[in-house]
Amino acid sequence: MVKSRSETRAHILETAARLLDDEGAAALTIRAVAQAAGLQAPALYRFFEDKDALLDAVAEHVFTTYVTGKAAARDGDPVADLRAGWDAHIGFGVANAALFGLLVTPGRTSPVAEAGLVVLRARVHRIAEAGRLRVPERLAAELVHAAGTGAVLTLLARRPEDRDPGLAEAMFEAVLARILTDAPTPTDTSPDLSKLTVAERALLAEWLDRD
């Protein structure tokens, strides 16, 4: 049975994902993926411009599959939403060690990693809108991102049986303590007097001075 173009592409990505998981990033070459998929190497170039394009497509495929299986409903609390995103990030990284290593490689930009940052910044923005941030939004997002990446890499550096199950949660709580206020920052509701004329200001002062 002849496969459609979309079926062939999906087969290539599934094969590449298994190869990456089994043998690591070094094994993920166009030739190796083609051979594992039962294709000739030139066939892959009809779907992917080069190895980087293949890697990006594999990352998107694996990440989409993971998120679909782990999707959680949005919570009305923006901090709870941030926590859900953190848990998904940690879970994905630990479950996909080789792929996570590619996504965080210095100097390499991945569409999946960039999309993840966009989502993170949106979650942080919702917290800012709720008046809960004590630091600028950009700094808050970078702190969460850096802590999440560091937590995953620390966990992956140890054998599964030696990993501290409370590490990621402790890291998240430490970040929250740094970026959140204890209560929403009150909105300044005082009137803007700078637009009043001299006469209007004088009249206002007269009203305020009255008993």
The total of other beta-carbon atoms located within 10 Å of residue 204's CB is 13
Q: How many domains does the chain have?
A: 2
Tell me, what's the pLDDT at 178?
A: 96
Same domain, 18 and 84: no
CA distance 206 to 209: 5
84 lies in which domain range?
72-211
* Least confident segment among 118-127, 167-176, 181-190: 181-190
CA distance 73 to 95: 21
Name the one residue in this structure whose structure tokens are 């890499």: 153
Same domain, 58 and 36: yes
Q: Where does the pLDDT of residue 114 fall: very low under 50, low under 70, confident under 90, or very high at 90 and above? A: confident
Which of 44, 71, 98 delimits the end of a domain? 71
163 exposed, middle or buried (CB, 10 Å; 0-12, 13-18, 19+)? middle
- In percent, how much of the chain has pLDDT > 70? 81
Report which of residues 211 and 21 the model is more confident about. Answer: 21
Q: Where does the pLDDT of residue 12 fall: very low under 50, low under 70, confident under 90, or very high at 90 and above? A: very high
Q: Is the pLDDT of residue 72 over 70?
A: no
Q: Where does the pLDDT of residue 73 fall: very low under 50, low under 70, confident under 90, or very high at 90 and above? A: very low
Same domain, 41 and 129: no
Tell me, what's the pLDDT at 64?
A: 79
Same domain, 123 and 56: no
Tell me, what's the pLDDT at 199?
A: 53
The total of other beta-carbon atoms located within 10 Å of residue 154's CB is 14
Which of 38, 71, 104 delimits the end of a domain? 71
Q: Where does the pLDDT of residue 195 fall: very low under 50, low under 70, confident under 90, or very high at 90 and above? A: low
Which of 71, 93, 124 delimits the end of a domain? 71
- In percent, how much of the chain has pLDDT > 90? 50
The sign of the dihedral angle between the CA atoms of 101, 104, 106, 111 is: positive
Tell me, what's the pLDDT at 202?
A: 54
Tell me, what's the pLDDT at 98?
A: 87
CA distance 64 to 118: 15
33 with 12: CB under 8 angstroms? yes
Q: What is the pTM of this model?
A: 0.74
Model confidence pLDDT, tens digit, residues 130-165:
999 999 999 999 999 999 999 999 999 999 999 998
Model confidence pLDDT, tens digit, residues 13-65:
999 999 988 888 788 899 999 999 999 999 999 999 998 889 888 888 888 77
The one-letter code for the residue type at 32 is A
120 with 85: CB under 8 angstroms? yes
